[in-house]
Structure 1
């Protein structure tokens, strides 16, 4: 039963979205399901995802807005071009086999215009839908990108200013610190891994192979846009502007300030010093 998976669902979604998540059992249908929303917005005032068993080995996932979501929807309409692009890329990263659809809109060009917005997907498994494996997979592969996209549009900030004090000496102004937030944003990490995998683009380290699952998820996201150009911000393309780096290579890239070393430079350093 999904009722026993609340802790698992919350953990998966908070790690993937960078937002605090609330859940509740929903017994309104033929089979009980789980409703999921952002903790600072109740079920009536923001996006709500719903997961239910579907058939013998599938989950049906729906995402819609509560009846009193007008303020949040107006906020979403004001999202920047960059936030919209990242949100669309997150949704586009969902496997086509899931059968994702957005009511009355195309998957490659959608907007949240009003409370009628609705996103639906069906995730099929090789095991029973009430197993930990199936629930985790549906969360990671479907609900996390859906909710992460909404978090991006709403504008959840996932890093406090004082959390980047170790780099404040060269970050300086407020605008350059945005790069740190992008790099540490779990939504960027999610998308970067979906696009490029978990192999360090500089040294080739695959943390999960070396350390196992418990400590293997340490790959970091590197934003390729130089700090020096942040004064003229532009919407970035997640496919070309993000790369995964292991912690060592990521730190090495930022030893040159204010403009980090290129990934090619890190590769050359490793070759020259037998890394």
Structure 2
């Protein structure tokens, strides 16, 4: 390899080494699954490749980031050559999981030019190993081989894409119920059973991408108050899951709002049906006169 290309590859490799932990954390928070990050080192193009560590690079979805021109990244999501069992799981995904996966793709800005090969971007399905999604991310302020550009591409494109795949695969374990005979002594450790929809990390990711970090009631942004310790916005179901008389399709766009911890606790002081965000906001206005 010529010296200039070798140095360029080493430069991206250095960026990857420094940012591997940050990239993995961004993806873990959005997908709820372990992530592996590797280097794509070709003769002409060098970039980053990301996959689910549990599945391996050849047995599941892989996201690839490559420089495109002087200011852009091209992103490609595809499946490894031995993904048969993973694809079988995906084909078994229900209506709710499919809706959330599609919504995660739609949350990517139209400026990123997301395309799904041979399919409508609003009604796509992962039917076989030929599934491929692509996007183009143009960076206005950073060159594509910088740490800032790589992290931005991961956060804005790779995270929702891989989160969608995690939803279809089923990366979301549910705790087993606690036996009725469990002793009731204060201070003892116990397992808490939480509904799958309530604890799904992809719900939180999608809610914040669609509605932002500001509380829907008090309009406070925890980042403004707590700085780096401020990632504490919570996700609230507008229709309590426990009150559903029968299962219904889950709408990931309209069923969730972000609430700060105080407002979230406050809406649930009314039982069995919580206050709506509008009702709580009106209570707060009346209190302030």
TM-score (norm 2): 0.83
Q: Does 1:154 align with 2:169?
A: yes
Aligned position for 1:3: 16
Aligned position for 1:168: none
Structure 2 distance, partners of 1:235, 1:108, is 17
Larger Rg, first or second structure (1 or 2): 2
Q: Does 1:116 align with 2:133?
A: no
* Secondary structure of the structure 1 residue equivalent to 2:154: helix
Over the aligned positions, Cα root-mean-square deviation in angstroms equals 2.1
Shift of 1:35: 1.4
Structure 2 distance, partners of 1:236, 1:211, is 32
Aligned position for 1:215: 229
TM-score (norm 1): 0.87
Residues 29 and 183 (structure 1), Cα distance of their counterparts in 2 relative to 1, 3 Å cut: farther
Residues 81 and 128 (structure 1), Cα distance of their counterparts in 2 relative to 1, 3 Å cut: same
User: Among residues 132, 136, 142, which one is paired with 2:147 in the alignment?
Assistant: 132
Q: Does 1:266 align with 2:283?
A: no
Between stretches 26-35 and 50-59, larger displacement belongs to 26-35
User: Among residues 188, 191, 206, which one is paired with 1:191 in the alignment?
Assistant: 206
Stretches of structure 2 that go unaligned for 5 or more consecutive residues are 1-11, 178-192
Aligned position for 1:171: none
How many residues matched? 260
Structure 2 distance, partners of 1:251, 1:29, is 56
User: Among residues 217, 221, 228, which one is paired with 1:206 in the alignment?
Assistant: 221
* Secondary structure of the structure 2 residue equivalent to 1:16: helix
Structure ranking higher in helix proportion: 1
Stretches of structure 1 that go unaligned for 5 or more consecutive residues are 163-175
Aligned position for 1:165: none
